[in-house]
Amino acid sequence: MMRLNDIAQFLDYFFAVEYFGDDPHGVYIPSTRLISRFGLALEPWSGLAQWASAKQLDALFLHRPWQLQPGQLAADIGVLAYHLAFDQNLTLGFNPRLATVLGMSNLEVLGEQGRPIGMIGNIPTQSCAGYCCCVDEIFGGYDTVRGDACEVSRVAVVGAMTDALVREAANRGANLYITGQLRKPAQTAVLETGISVIAVGHRRCEEWGLRALAGLLGDRWSRLEVILPMQ
């Protein structure tokens, strides 16, 4: 079994936290308790303490920890928190794990603001409708599809949607742009470039990231039981 600092050290390296300044990353509530059952959640909720007790959690990961109340959890339950670092690496940033399930190859960085903002890569040529079905299966749905591309062969996956990013994706050959939410400032670029867009939905992206994190931790520690709120 491991302790909270062991998991924090592993995630600090995986998430490359040095790029994220003062944004929450690492140990949020310290603990020296040995960990065999580790819970993952996006944020605190009213039933968090009951869930942690029922699942016999030794520690917890929170993506957005700010609403965690003092004393809400048992005193010896430690908490790790990763905000932007989680978004960047396990949702719609440069995310090789997601690229694999999306069928993307020859990955390249798309957009940089001191760190990669997204990724662009090739997929086997297929109908846009068929690829939308793939996205639906991966994320459990999506919010919106815009555009009428008959076929897609190159995809951009980006955790932001600006005029510049849409034009960069199109100029580099992408005919589909996958993001979390549609943004009005990018609409002109979408129309002028003819690129299609799938807006997955912010929450769905985060939930996929939690599932990916569970797999990552399971790959690292075979005996660690990782618990998600729906379990």
CATH class for the domain made up of 93-199: alpha beta
pTM equals 0.93
Q: What is the pLDDT of residue 231?
A: 57
CATH T-level topology, domain 4-85+206-227? 3.40.1390
Q: What is the pLDDT of residue 19?
A: 86
Q: What is the pLDDT of residue 213?
A: 98
200, 104, 216: which is closest to 146 by C-alpha?
200
Q: Residue 137 contacts by C-beta under 8 Å, 6 or more apart in sequence? A: none
pLDDT per position in the chain (231 positions), as tens? 799 999 999 999 999 999 888 888 999 999 999 999 999 999 999 999 999 999 999 999 999 999 999 899 999 999 999 999 999 999 999 999 999 999 999 999 998 777 888 999 999 999 999 999 999 999 999 999 998 678 899 999 999 999 999 999 999 999 999 999 999 889 999 999 999 999 999 999 999 999 999 999 999 999 999 999 975
Three-state secondary structure readout of the chain: CECHHHHHHHHHHHHCHHHCCCCCEEEEECCCCCECEEEEECCCCCCHHHHHHHCCCCEEEECCCCCCCCCCCCCCCEEEEECHHHHHHHCCCCCHHHHHHCCCEEEEEEEECCCEEEEEEEEEEEEHHHHHHHHHHHHCCCCEEECCCCEEEEEEEECCCCHHHHHHHHHCCCCEEEECCCCHHHHHHHHHHCCEEEECCHHHHHHHHHHHHHHHHHHHCCCCEEECCCC
- Where in the chain are all domains bearing CATH 3.40.1390.30? 4-85+206-227, 93-199
